Structure 1
Amino acid sequence: MTDASALPGRPADAVLDGPTTERSVCLLAPNPSPMTLEGTNTWILAEPGSAEAVVVDPGPADETHLRRVADTVAAAGRRVAMTLLTHGHADHTGGAPRFAQLTGSPVRALDPRLRLGDEGLAGGDVIRVAGLEIEVVGTPGHTADSLSFHIPADGALLTGDTVLGRGTTIIAHPDGRLGEYLDSLRRLREFSEREGLGTVLPGHGPVLRDPVGVIDYYLVHRAKRLAEVETAYEAGHRTAAEIVAHVYADVDRSVWPAAELSVLAQLEYLREHGLVV
């Protein structure tokens, strides 16, 4: 993870809990940590005036948070039509089975092991619920099952952990792969320009108002880290732990174990391209 101030499009009054766009509300889960930032963002999506809502990433298995999400939907005179998962990490999905019990809603995910109901999710799917349209965008790399969700009417993209509201994400080796992640970032950049996106709604951290600028920052950051890892390897730092201590000295030590996963993914990428042995 990196310094929040470096990210483009991060407003000083960024919303962490409450309405964010016309069709989205963020409820922050009470699971702050160096890896989850302020906590996991649970998103409630609904068309104005409709009687149904979609919940994205109900968050960890925290009964108070799950009930707060269910009660917020009910207080708006709506029911949860379905729950969508951006990816399988427990801070996003641990509460999904209990949330399904509380709301009677099916859970849809790319990974069949996380589904509760008959339908899954895949990039290119279009979900329509009570006038709300959500386009599913495949964004593997952070994990193999990572998805993003586009709300065309708001010009907004929910990115899960692919793009964070503060800092940068890890590549969760061996499930996550750097090559796929870079391809996803490039695809999101092109998508953002084509669709005229104005807002990133991340899985952690505040909303961002410059999607293209943020993705460009991510691409530059990844290229810089990859070059640093290659240089460290050539200098004789062979293990992931050694490379982290050399390259990630500017990062909080509490996230060094996660940084090792990213280093393993970077080494794999360098080997695939014949740049290290």
Structure 2
Amino acid sequence: MATPPKLVFERSFDPQTGKAVAVAPGLMRVTAPNASPYTFTGTNSFLVGHEQLALIDPGPDDSAHRAALEQAIAGRPVSAIILTHTHRDHSAGAAQLAAELNAPLWFGGAHRLSRPLRPGETNALRRSSDWELQPDRVLRDGETILAGDLELLVHTTPGHCANHLAFGLAGTDTVLTGDHVMGWNSTLVASPDGSMAHYLESLEKLIALPYRRYVPAHGGPIEDGPSYARALLAHRQERNRQIIAAVEQGARSIPAIVRALYPDVSLPVRRAAAMTVGAQLEYLADLGRLRLRSGLLGLRVSL
């Protein structure tokens, strides 16, 4: 088996926040002013098309970002507002812009959990998700849609959340990957909002598709997307091995595993790490690699 590429994050990206930046022919980026430990330099909104446009991921409900998008649209008709998924840093501005631009909302169905909540369980991303937003059109895997005056190919990529989509620019080697693959960091997967099993399956699916250039919703383009995605896949598989090793060495809870794997990270990153470790534990338990049980002190892990 070939050695996977080394995973290297690219964090030198200049977002040029609020400005329209050409990414590819017929594709413009406008980055929102919502930088954070979870969104990097902010959410990238994209305008697809030339004389007629579609808007992908309108981003947060922010008046400055809305004004920047309207300036970039420059009076051209907008045929649809399209979402990669319904986390609010991507979708909170959608309803108002849809009304202002008289454009329908297209995405992969209303926000939903990757699996039902278990007794006593809470969804850590409940407030970060747009539960009330409904699509005018539900996009399906494999269909081709007219976005402005260009065509997009729809690819379901669940994992980060259940309704996540990627969009290939027809006739090019470019795909918009949303939060599924990002060059600045690995993707947050938090069960039950997301699913590690689905995320890994979607990574393999994306690698097999005929795209080389990945354009994510946070950070800059990834020029050799398949190699980077293979490195991400190997990274997750190595994390699974490290979790098993930590449990073998006595770690019996998510906080103990996080301390073993991420000893020096900041508090916001530690919270994200705990959510992703939880998703990986669930994945490993489903494979029969370890056992999970709920107790008064939270989730307990054993081999």
User: Could you state the TM-score of these two structures normalised by the residue count of structure 1?
Assistant: 0.88
Partner in structure 1 of residue 8 of structure 2: 6
Conserved 8 A contact 1:163-1:169: yes
CA distance in structure 2 between the aligned counterparts of 1:99 and 1:181, rounded to whole angstroms: 30
1:158-205: CA deviations, max 9, x gaps? 1111001211111121121111111100111011xxx2x231110101
> Is there any run of 5+ residues in structure 1 with no aligned partner, and where?
none
Partner in structure 2 of residue 26 of structure 1: 29
**Which has the larger share of helix?**
1
Partner in structure 2 of residue 201 of structure 1: 215
Specify which structure has the bigger relative contact order, considering alpha-carbon pairs within 8 angstroms and separated by 6 or more residues. Answer: 1
Judged with a 3 Å threshold, the aligned counterparts in structure 2 of structure 1 residues 203 and 250 are, in CA distance, closer, same or farther, namely farther
Conserved 8 A contact 2:142-2:154: yes
Ranges of 4+ aligned residues in structure 1 off by more than 6 Å: none
Paired AA for residue 63 in structure 1:
S
Conserved 8 A contact 2:28-2:46: yes
CA distance in structure 2 between the aligned counterparts of 1:252 and 1:179, rounded to whole angstroms: 27
Secondary structure of 2:171's counterpart equals helix
CA distance in structure 2 between the aligned counterparts of 1:184 and 1:149, rounded to whole angstroms: 13
Secondary structure of 1:149's counterpart equals strand
Shift of 1:251: 3.7
Secondary structure of 1:154's counterpart equals coil
Shift of 1:11: 10
CA distance in structure 2 between the aligned counterparts of 1:116 and 1:188, rounded to whole angstroms: 24
101, 109, 113: which is aligned to 1:103? 101
Larger Rg, first or second structure (1 or 2):
2
Partner in structure 2 of residue 137 of structure 1: 155
CA distance in structure 2 between the aligned counterparts of 1:212 and 1:125, rounded to whole angstroms: 22
For 1:1-277, list aligned pairs within 5 A: 6-7=8-9, 16-17=15-16, 18-46=21-49, 48=50, 50=51, 52-74=52-74, 77-112=75-110, 113-117=132-136, 119-191=137-209, 195=210, 197-277=211-291
Shift of 1:145: 1.0
CA distance in structure 1 between the aligned counterparts of 2:11 and 2:266, rounded to whole angstroms: 24
Between stretches 171-180 and 104-113, larger displacement belongs to: 104-113
Aligned length: 261
Identical-pair percentage:
33
Shift of 1:130: 4.8
